[in-house]
Amino acid sequence: MDGVAAVSQRIGEIEGRLALLGFARASASGVLGGGPAPAVATTGIASAGGASADFASALATEVASTATTADVGSGKALVDAKGVPIELKQYGNGKVPAAALSPVAGTSHTLWTPAARSLEALRDAAAADGVTIGMTDSYRTYASQVDLAERKGLYSQGGLAAAPGTSMHGWGMAVDLSLDARAQAWMREHAGAYGFVEDTPREPWHWGYHPTH
């Protein structure tokens, strides 16, 4: 079942379940961004914990969860043999416009869209385990690659920077993370399921996005 069909089926299941609980019905197209959400009654019944909710917010939460799960690790057919997103190659490494990248929720960082969604899911999963995954770098412009090479030296010469124009940061396909010992261990155990791989020797903070499907 493709992603759209899966989400549609999931919406139907959620609508049926929430209807039984007495939630007001909302247009799924509005919740999913197909247009402004219609006015929704906010007199939903109280939950077991005493808090009330409305159909729109409950449906949006469930749909977002479903979409995130389906997207985790995705994009394998959308990258070339070197792992570069085909849709971004037209711009050049480090020259990708902001509009072609996607923000990582809760941060000032941007990545290729599938990588961003997968990283969000990864960080949420880590947080659920009581682990904090910090971020220090993501997409890197060509100019910032030049600056980093001048300050840190080239990796091929014992430094810490890729030759400008060759870094996977320049495609929005790599992140540098802030990890304590527990977070590093969590990443090494779980990150692969989200498409992230510790792929650069001498740089345990550097994780590249390698789509799994």
Residue whose C-alpha is closest to residue 26's, from 15, 35, 17: 15
Identify the domain containing residue 53 by its residue range: 3-71
Same domain for 35 and 113, yes or no, is no
Structure tokens at 47: 């939950």
What's the pLDDT at 51? Answer: 45
Same domain for 85 and 169, yes or no, is yes
pLDDT for 92 beyond 80: yes
Q: Which of 57-66, 154-163, 190-199 shows the lowest per-residue confidence on average (mean pLDDT)?
A: 57-66
Same domain for 132 and 190, yes or no, is yes
Residue whose C-alpha is closest to residue 177's, from 122, 137, 126: 137
* 4 or 139, greater pLDDT: 139
- CATH number for position 205: 3.30.1380.10
